[in-house]
Amino acid sequence: MQNQTTPGALLTAMRANPPLVQCITNFVAMNIAANVMLAAGASPAMVHAEEEAGEFAEISGALTINIGTLSTDWMAGMVSAAQSATKAGKPWVLDPVAHYATSFRRKAVAELLELNPAVIRGNASEIIALAGGASRGQGVDSRDPVELAEEAAILLARKYRSVVAVTGATDFVTDGNRAVRINGGSPLMPQVTALGCALTCLVGAFAATRPQDPFDASVAALAAFAVAGERTGREAVGPGSFSWRFLDALAALDEKAIDREARITPA
Ligand SMILES: Nc1ncnc2c1ncn2[C@@H]1O[C@H](COP(=O)(O)OP(=O)(O)O)[C@@H](O)[C@H]1O
Ligand SMILES: Cc1ncsc1CCOP(=O)(O)O
Ligand SMILES: [Mg+2]
């Protein structure tokens, strides 16, 4: 019998019933994230206004919240959506973009963390700082290796009872108990803006497909990026061609390819 929770099986399940995912993301990421979601087979909606964000979360399969271009009115929409998702039993994913940079961001992330995200997805510098460590992050960019963030990720997963997905050259995913590393991708990925933000939305899509197991959902989303990114890296000549070729590679992924090519190892 086939394992129903392999990344490939989850990709097939997601495409068979494309989940509506409410993505509250940033101005930089909106377009690329929506295109990544469509290429992978999900149905994204970028809905953030306070007047409707909570109501929209009720009809979505999952919610993602990203503080990349935060403002006070967006924060109100984020809080309303997260409360509504939790109440409706829908998983939501937090992307704490550059939360260490200003007190406004630090305060916002502290408030959002209290609203029970199912998954926290960030780069290594963001995860280290979230656990109170000394991060070398600069603005939205990570300057720390993922290996240095693994302990922080486990700590955060236990503290907030959530899955923590740390990305970089080698990704690390933990729920505080289980942990895996995922290899793949391409060094060109951090040269294309908002790919991490787009990945956060895709984690939401897989979490909508498998709400009972946000760990497997996160691993599947990161594996899809790792395989599509690695394939794209072989063809692209720079960040420009990487960007459009990556969408094609995501769309071309299928169950067999992802399960054959994903390099996932227990940590
Ligand atoms: N040096 C690298 N080599 C391979 N893949 C990478 C590398 N850096 C980042 N990635 C991949 O890029 C995607 C976005 O991750 P990351 O750049 O860490 O997020 P963010 O954009 O939030 O900083 C992930 O799929 C990650 O695995
Ligand atoms: C450049 C920039 N500025 C504010 S949000 C953003 C995008 C960040 O994207 P990512 O976290 O995926 O690198
Ligand atoms: Mg990011």
Quick check: 238 pLDDT over 90? yes
pLDDT at 5: 87
33 close to 198: Cβ distance less than 8 angstroms: yes
Tens of pLDDT along 117-168? 999 999 999 999 999 999 999 999 999 999 999 999 999 999 999 999 999 9
- Out of 3.40.1190.20, 3.40.630.30, 3.90.220.20, 3.40.50.300, which CATH number does the structure's domain 7-129+143-266 have? 3.40.1190.20
Looking at ligand 1, which atom is closest to the CA of residue 142? 23
Output the CA 220–ligand 2 centroid distance in Å.
Answer: 22
Whole-structure pTM value: 0.98
Work out whether strand 179-183 and strand 263-266 pair parallel, antiparallel, or are unpaired: antiparallel
Quick check: 1 pLDDT over 70? no
CB of 242 sitting under 6 A from ligand 1? no
% of the chain at pLDDT higher than 90: 98
Average pLDDT across the chain, whole number: 97
